[in-house]
Amino acid sequence: MGALDDIRVVEMGQLLAGPFCGQLLGDMGADVIKIEPPGAGDPMRLWGQGEEKVQWEVIARNKRSVTCNLRIPEGQELARKLIAKADVLVENFKPGTMEKWGLSPESLLAENPGLIIARMSGYGQDGPYSNRAGFGGIGEAMGGWRYIVGDPDRPPARMGISIGDTLCATYGCMGVLAALHHREKTGQGQVVDTALYEAVLQVMEGLVPEYDRNGFIRERSGSILPGIAPSNVYRCKDGHFMIGANKDEIFARLAQAMGQPELASDPRYATHIARGKNQIELDELVNAWTGTLTVDEVEQSMIDHSIPAGRVYRAPDMIADPHFQARQAIIEVETETRGKLKMQNAFPKLSQTPSGVRRPAPSKPGQQNHEVLSELLGYDTQMIDTMADAGVI
């Protein structure tokens, strides 16, 4: 199952960027061998909110866990042998770490010329900052994201998720897919170099050219995009509701829904530019209208007038929503230690080679040591047990 069902991935590294890239590849069918340090394993096993830490169940799905002590020569040699059997290596260590372990791209490609090496780091593999430690939040700050998030009278804010890490992982996955296509034509592997700050920079839209050409610096703007109106979350009698009616003809339909059709021809609101200049006043008008109605009533009006709009969902709202259910956007996975657990499904949807969750996250570090080492390297039980006793795995 999955478009990548003939691809083997060795995933090294911890926490989010590397493992999320591995999750994406695994969801698309790749056989992902997750290398964890002996003992506690990846710290992600202990991440998450609430009493039970279940974030691991998502990011480690479709993976097989092998423990390997990368700090000793025997562990480094074991990793080298596994990588020699792989199509893709994913790693998110600080630049220079793989080289220190004798696992440089040059040496790995010499042994496995078709290998694709996805390297994720804070600042990339070269440049004056490459040796600095980097986390997703730092990439968000330097990539321009943090400065523009939040209310204008408050310090820069953040999203409630690690968006810098997942963006870097997503671009890393994109690079792997492009490199696989190149390998089909040439047989050559290559290095995919992704940096946290550059991944964030990629989604900054016109932020840089706007400054370069106009001297314009984007500032924090709260819940709106300056000049894009009306497009905001509006108050209702019993909650909040998102409406996006900034296109001329859509705004005309919103004016009809509000019982104020004259707004569409009012010079203050008749055009995109005019609405942007009068954004605050226009949002007050929309809020005054939505405030007289319930969320259900506003939603039905938006449907009747074909206006892009939606409820502001939390997890329980997503689980209960019939569209989420019909699309199987959220699925229930039988985990090894926590029973059935709801989580987001694999995405995007492919019609001929659908992605999905084939196996739950491994409950213990090294759970597939015997399975993988015997299958890929031909090791017998005695050899594997000896390695375990020596602390190699």
What structural domains and CATH numbers belong to the chain?
Answer: 8-203+351-389 (3.40.50.10540), 231-315 (3.30.1540.10)
For residue 330 the two structure tokens come to: 């959220």
- The pLDDT, as a whole number, for residue 1 is 79
**154 contacts 80 by C-beta, under 8 angstroms:** no
Q: Give the tokens for residue 193.
A: 């170099």
In three-state secondary structure terms, 10 is strand
5 is catalytic: no
Amino acid identity at 336: E
Predicted confidence at residue 224, as pLDDT, reads 94
User: How crowded is residue 187: how many other Cβ atoms within 10 Å of its Cβ?
Assistant: 9
**Are 365 and 41 a contacting pair, CB within 8 Å?**
yes
Would the CA dihedral through 80, 100, 75, 64 be positive or negative?
negative
**Which residue out of 165, 193, 238, 248 is catalytically annotated?**
165
CA distance 299 to 169: 35
* β partners of residue 30: none
Whole-number Å distance between alpha carbons of 18 and 21: 5
What does the buried/exposed string (b/e) look like for 333-368 if buried means 16 or more CB atoms within 10 Å of the residue's CB? bebeebeebebebbeeeeeeeebebeebbbeebbbb
- Report residue 44 as tokens: 């992600």
Residue 46's contacts (CB-CB under 8 Å, 6 or more residues apart) are 53, 56
Q: How many CB atoms lie within 10 A of CB 285?
A: 16
Residue 13's pLDDT is what?
Answer: 87
pLDDT at 173: 98
Report whether 201 contacts 209 (CB < 8 A).
Answer: no
- Joined tokens for residue 166: 């997942």
- Give pLDDT tens digits along the chain (393 positions): 799 999 999 999 888 999 999 999 999 999 999 999 999 899 999 998 999 999 999 999 999 999 999 999 999 999 999 999 999 999 999 999 999 999 999 999 999 999 999 999 999 999 999 999 888 999 999 999 999 999 999 999 998 999 999 999 999 999 999 999 999 999 999 999 999 999 999 999 999 999 999 999 999 999 999 999 999 999 999 999 999 999 999 999 999 999 999 999 999 999 999 999 999 999 999 999 999 999 999 999 999 999 999 999 999 999 999 999 999 999 999 999 999 999 999 999 999 999 999 999 999 999 999 999 999 999 999 999 999 999 999
Which one-letter DSSP state was computed for residue 44?
G
Helix 17-27 to helix 163-186 angle (10° resolution) is 50
Structure tokens belonging to residue 256: 């009809």
Strand 31-36 relative to strand 63-67: parallel, antiparallel, unpaired?
A: parallel
- Nearest Cα neighbor of 179 from 139, 225, 119, 107 is 119
- Read off the tokens for 229: 């109106």
Q: Is the overall model pTM greater than 0.85, yes or no?
A: yes
**pLDDT value for 293:** 98
